[in-house]
Structure 1
Amino acid sequence: MAIEVGSKVKGKVAGITNFGAFVELPGGSTGLVHISEVADSFVKDVNEHLKIGDEVEVKVLSEKEGKIALSIKKAIDKPEGQTSSSYTKRPPRQGGRDNNKNFRSKGNFKAKESFEDKMAKFLKTSEENLYSLNRNTESKRGGRGGRRG
């Protein structure tokens, strides 16, 4: 029996490693269920979820050069509307500012600077910083004409 990508098949856990579990499929082939595909929740140790000899239903994710990638969590049918992840959306913030309101005061509105204005201001401040940096480092080099202090 040929294994088709996307199909669900039953198999038996043949081996467990720290990175996943090997599942023996019908027809004698073996595939790997990566640790990230064992359960919807975080899996620290595969041994907490599977034992050698367990019968599991897996979904075939891919097959390349004889290597078969399997998933247990994608083989589980979920009710419609439920996400594939056990992580939920963050609850709304309590007591904070309402995200739907505009907090900029209409009376204090200042037009945004143009790109040229921002660039001119940046160049001026960077030249000033570079000048003061050079002046301070020249005095520490000890060359001729350097300030002592």
Structure 2
Amino acid sequence: MKFPIGLRLNAKVNNITKLGLFVTLPHHHHGLIFYKDFGDKWESARNKYSIGDEVRAVIINNHQGKLSLSLSQVNNPDLIDPTNEFKDSKDFTPLAKLVENSTKKIADLKNSIELSDQ
């Protein structure tokens, strides 16, 4: 399995050290969520996790097969997930389209209510 930058995946914590969270990825690959990903909250964050916990992470670096992951950047729109079928969409993300359509429907409903009140 290839692990391109931006790929979001589930990882299982298999070790917690001063360096960060070592995780197991699909197909028995391994990666590290470096302690700096947690900022100055690493000491309290490391107590939050246990071996066996599943976390959602994003690949932020793949240097010669050594994978660096991040929890804090999972929602970073600049890290485009190459497996996302909407990655090439120039318009809106599916959620944004849903919100836009709902907003239009609410505005139309409001206008029709105002017209019926007059």
The question of a shared fold, defined as TM-score above 0.5 by the shorter chain, is answered with: yes
How far off its partner does 1:76 sit? 4.3
1:75 aligned onto 2:74: yes
Considering only aligned residues, what root-mean-square deviation do their CA atoms show, in Å? Answer: 2.1
Provide the rounded CA distance (Å) in 2 between the counterparts of 1:77 and 1:52: 26
Deviation at 1:42, TM superposition (A): 2.1
CA contact (8 A) 1:20 1:33 kept: yes
Percent identity among equivalent residues? 29
Change (3 A) 1:76 1:54: farther
| Secondary structure in 2 matching 1:51 | coil
Moved over 6 A (4+): none
Please state how far the C-alpha of 1:28 moved relative to its aligned partner: 1.0
| Alignment of structure 1 residues 83-98 onto 2, 5 Å | none
- Answer yes or no: is the 8 Å Cα contact 1:11–1:57 preserved in 2: yes
Deviation (angstroms), 1:55: 0.5
Letter in 2 for 1:69: S
What TM-score comes out, normalization by structure 1 length? 0.46
Q: How many residues align?
A: 77
> SS state of the match for residue 74, structure 1?
coil
Separation of aligned partners in 2, 1:24 and 1:32: 9
Label 1:41 to 1:77 Cα distance change in 2 as closer, same or farther (>3 A): farther
Q: Which has the larger share of helix?
A: 2
Aligned counterpart, 1:37: 37
Larger radius of gyration: 1
Q: Distance in 2 between matches of 1:77 and 1:66?
A: 23
Greater RCO, 1 or 2 (C-alpha within 8 Å, sep 6+): 2
Maintained 8 Å contact 1:5/1:60:
yes
Match of 2:6 in 1: 6
Unaligned runs of at least 5 residues, structure 1: 79-149
Structure 2 unaligned segments of length 5 or more: list them.
Answer: 78-118
Structure-2-length-normalised TM-score: 0.58
Aligned to 2:22: 22
For 1:14, the aligned partner's letter is: N
